[in-house]
Amino acid sequence: MPALSALAVALVVTGCGATTVPPTEGPTDTSVPGVPGQETLDPFGAALRTEVAALVATLAAIDAALGDAGAASDIAGVHAAAERAVHALTTDAELAGDLDDDGTVADPGVRPLFAGPETGSPGDDVLSTILAAARDEGGRGGRVIDVLRDPVTGDLSAWEQDPGGQLAAVMAAADTGTEEAIAALPGHLPRALAWAVACLAADDLDAATAAAINGRVHATLSLDAAEALTD
């Protein structure tokens, strides 16, 4: 009997030692480097992420164009850069041509931000497509809509429902060329557009440069807010 007991123990020990547990594949590591236990979360879906990138690209183009206008050493250079900024700001047909009378139409290289009264094809402007993508995202898109409303565009409903009326208000403020009238426009990018138009209308180098510099302040604030969405 002792011999049988010893044999039984040996078989149990041998069997346990021979048993192997196949490795299991764990979930994909989504941790943030240096932050144990914290996951990397995608704040937006693919469609909205694409539109946020388009928004940043357009605002960066506006900011760069107004920066170039403010730094130009002659009135022709100021006006050429201001035209590029206007074309990046709106698809409006009345502001789409050769605004500085140099024989060429500046291509901003990005989709313009605001639609005109007649945009041509739906989605030609960034604002309409990013709003659609943000609303499709539901709660996750709320952050984008908040940034668009403040500081970027001001009254979103007005730009969606009556872009012609919004552009008329911008042009009226630009015609005055005064800080008070332009500051009264809701949203930083409408103010940037007004300053860019005022810049194009100015024949004096100092006045045109000052308008471009004022406009860039609003463009930079909007760009900073949009870039924060990608953090």
Q: Does residue 118 lie in a domain region? A: yes
Averaged pLDDT, 49-74: 98
**Does position 138 have pLDDT exceeding 50, yes or no?**
yes
**Angstrom distance (rounded) from CA 70 to CA 78:** 7
User: In which band, very low, low, confident or very high, does the pLDDT at 15 lie, cut at 50, 70 and 90?
Assistant: very low
Q: Does residue 66 lie in a domain region? A: yes
Q: Does residue 27 lie in a domain region? A: no
Q: Return the CA Rg of the chain.
A: 29
Name the residue type at position 149. R
**Token pair listed for 88:** 């990046």
| pLDDT value of residue 9 | 38
Averaged pLDDT, 72-76: 98
Q: Sign (positive/negative) of CA torsion 226, 154, 195, 181?
A: negative
Q: Does residue 7 lie in a domain region? A: no
**Angstrom distance (rounded) from CA 100 to CA 196:** 12
**Does position 149 have pLDDT exceeding 70, yes or no?**
yes
Q: How many CA atoms lie within 13 A of 84 on its CB side?
A: 25
Averaged pLDDT, 102-111: 96
**Angstrom distance (rounded) from CA 93 to CA 32:** 47
User: In which band, very low, low, confident or very high, does the pLDDT at 117 lie, cut at 50, 70 and 90?
Assistant: confident
Alpha helices in the chain (DSSP H): 2-18, 46-71, 75-89, 126-136, 142-147, 156-161, 163-176, 179-183, 188-201, 205-228
Q: Does residue 31 lie in a domain region? A: no
| pLDDT value of residue 120 | 54
Q: Does residue 17 lie in a domain region? A: no
| pLDDT value of residue 44 | 83
**Angstrom distance (rounded) from CA 87 to CA 57:** 14
Q: What is the dihedral of CA 43, 47, 53, 55, to 10 degrees?
A: -110
Domain enclosing residue 217, as ranges: 42-228
The structure's pTM equals 0.81
| pLDDT value of residue 231 | 79
Q: Does residue 4 lie in a domain region? A: no
**Angstrom distance (rounded) from CA 178 to CA 102:** 26
User: In which band, very low, low, confident or very high, does the pLDDT at 119 lie, cut at 50, 70 and 90?
Assistant: low
With residue 36 as reference, give the H or E element that holds it. Answer: strand 35-39
Number of domains making up the chain: 1
pLDDT in tens, 208-229: 999 999 999 999 999 999 999 9
**Does position 87 have pLDDT exceeding 50, yes or no?**
yes
Cβ partners under 8 Å of residue 196, min gap 6: 66, 69, 82, 85, 86, 89, 211, 212, 215
| pLDDT value of residue 121 | 61
Averaged pLDDT, 110-138: 88
User: In which band, very low, low, confident or very high, does the pLDDT at 122 lie, cut at 50, 70 and 90?
Assistant: low
**Does position 131 have pLDDT exceeding 80, yes or no?**
yes
Q: Does residue 209 lie in a domain region? A: yes
Task: Kindly write down the DSSP assignment for every residue of 80-127, as one continuous string.
Answer: HHHHHHHHHHB--GGGSS-TT-SSS----SS--SB--SS-SSTT-SHH
- 88-98 burial code (b ≥16 CB/10 A, e <16): bbbbbeebeee
